[in-house]
Structure 1
Amino acid sequence: MKIGFIGFGNMAQAIATGLIESQLTDPADLIFSNRTESKRTVLETQFNIKGTLHNQEVWDQSDLIILGVKPHQVEEVLTKIDKTHCPYVISVAAGVTNKQLTAYLPESNFIRTMPNLNAQVGEGITAIIENLSVKKELLEQAKKIFESVGKVVELPESQMGPFIAIAGSSPALVFMFIDTLARAAVKYGISKDKATEIAAQAVLGSAKTVIDSSQSPWNLIDQVSSPGGITVDGILSLLQNDFSMSIIQSVDAMVEKNNQLSE
């Protein structure tokens, strides 16, 4: 299968890397477009795949398109393309709904997805948005592609707001948490670089523990919290300062913002 990337930013590059490293496709079967000649040349060398300045060339040569342009560019890009040839399309353009995509594409030929930043390190989580009309072949292909850069969940479009909050945007919250832990350790004499490494590894290991465990996160908290111990005082301090409510309010704010943008 020939796979083309219209728009070849960070997310598209992560997907291309996942496809190549997982041996789902050969680099010779990939093609991308980029409007800047100098950047196209650099990317061709970096990824060892063919590049072009023209979206139409990518469209015509591909069986499947990864649509990775910025959301405000989708209309311009899709209206300018001659669609005599009709490849499958996987959209990773945040905020562009199924309804909006049907204005330019046959409903059975596209899937809307939402990968997150961590796909860049092969640990992403991607939502595949339900489309009852989509061809089963495309759905299975989309799952394979995004499993090459992490995990996949299928969700109705009505749940995109909370997904964006707890997956798409949450890396920023986690980065903030790691940085805050590190800054707290600097107060006690650990260098910022070393403290950041320690905190990041602790968060990485904690996430893997949750995923690998059959227990709830709160039960795992109990395992770390010895009666009368250090961790208990830390947990109680967070509870007294409404840590949980602050996170919930942050998610609420992001869901509300997504709803506003989707109107």
Structure 2
Amino acid sequence: MNTKNIACIGSGNMGRALMKGAANIIPAGNIGFSDADTAKAEVLAKELGAKVYSSNYDAVKEADFVFLAVKPQVLGTVLEEIAPALRMRVESKSPAILVSMAAGWTIKKIQILLDVGSVAKLIGPDWSEVNPTLTKPVPVVRIMPNTPALISQGVIAMSASSEVPEETLAMLEKILSAAGIVDRLDENYMDAVTGLSGSGPAFVYLFIEALADGGVQAGLPRDKALRYATQTVLGAAAMVKETGKHPGELKDMVTSPGGTTIAGVAALENGAFRGTVINAVDAAYNRSKKLG
């Protein structure tokens, strides 16, 4: 793989996770950070052996891949700032590949904003009617990673605009794979991915905490209850992944007639456990759409 330069605008948890993985694929010196909080970017750059760009403009000017690791609420402002540099790269026939992980922001919306140059023209329910002829659109890849990418166990969904060459997309996929599994899918599913794997780790953490609390209530010491709960969730997930069996089938393997497990399952169902989890994913999905 030809060595590429990566710029990451934003140095929060997700930027750190993905760049930490990228440093296993390309030299850390080819990775740079740009952040409104320069001190924060410098700390992360030192940790990885990366560099710090003096501005977002310089980051876009030098990088082959520009990761946008910023909150959806500030993405518009960042895009307005870097739009001239991105368009200049397109005009010079050496476009930077923009990689966005902002929930709700579609590839189309990003490309139109970069073309019209002002987020004000896209505000409101009718932004989709702003549809100029994009003769030279900026190539954009939209991803949705999750926080287990920090330990190389993430799920990273990926969609790309037609302007991204397959060879380049394959290279990006290899870089991202250092942080977890990478799965290409139609962009129409990205908000659903956000609700499931993007927000899902928080739901699992709540379950682990509750499972451990149940152990404490039953008399286990806190440290042992948390250890057992964590390994139980890890092992159960591995069973689903490794056996390929449906979770319901694996559940039935543990659930003996008149036994302890069915008593616990009945208690979960009385509390609308499955319906509540479904509603949590749906709520996160709907919030993702609104953020766009």
> Percent of counterpart pairs with the same letter?
32
Pairing partner for 2:261 from 231, 235, 254: 231
| CA positional deviation for 1:130 | 4.9
Aligned twin of 1:32:
33
Is 1:151 aligned to 2:154, yes or no? no
Q: Flag the 1:107–1:234 CA change in 2: closer, same or farther, 3 A.
A: farther
> Counterpart in 2 of 1:5?
8
* CA 1:250–1:72: 2 relative to 1, 3 Å: closer
| Structure 2 residues without counterparts, runs of 5 or longer | 90-94, 116-135
Which amino acid in structure 2 is aligned with residue 99 of structure 1?
K
Deviation per residue, 1:17-47 (Å, 9 max, x gap)? 11223xx101111111123343333223211
Q: 2:30, 2:254 → 1: CA distance?
A: 49
- Structure 1 gaps of 5+ residues are none
TM-score under structure 1 length normalisation: 0.90
* 2:11 and 2:41 in contact (8 A); partners too: no
Partner in structure 1 of residue 67 of structure 2: 66
Out of 277, 285, 288, the position equivalent to 1:247 is 277
Letter of the 1:78 counterpart = L
Aligned partner of 1:218 among 248, 257, 263: 248
Q: State how far apart, in whole Å, the 1-side matches of 2:237 and 2:195 are.
A: 17
- The answer on whether the counterparts of 1:109 and 1:135 sit within 8 Å (CA) in structure 2 is no
Moved over 4 A (4+): 105-108
| Residue 12 (structure 1) shift | 1.1
Residues matched between the structures, number: 260
Partner Cα separation in structure 2 for residue 210 and residue 237 of structure 1: 23
Q: Which moved more, 1:173-182 or 1:60-69?
A: 60-69
Structure 2 counterparts to residues 1-263 of structure 1, below 5 A: 1-21=4-24, 24-81=25-82, 82-83=85-86, 84-85=88-89, 86-103=95-112, 104=114, 107=137, 109-262=139-292
Does the 8 Å contact 2:111/2:138 carry over to 1?
no
Cα-to-partner distance string for 1:62-100 (whole Å, 9 max, x where unaligned): 111112122232222222232323311111122221121
RMSD (CA atoms): 2.0
SS state at 1:152 partner: strand
Structure 2: distance between partners of 1:100 and 1:78: 11
- 1:181–1:198: structure 2 CA closer, same or farther, 3 Å change rule? same
More RCO (CA 8 Å, sep 6+): 2
Alignment partners' CA distance in 1, 2:275 and 2:51: 49
Which one-letter code corresponds to 1:112 in the other structure?
Answer: R
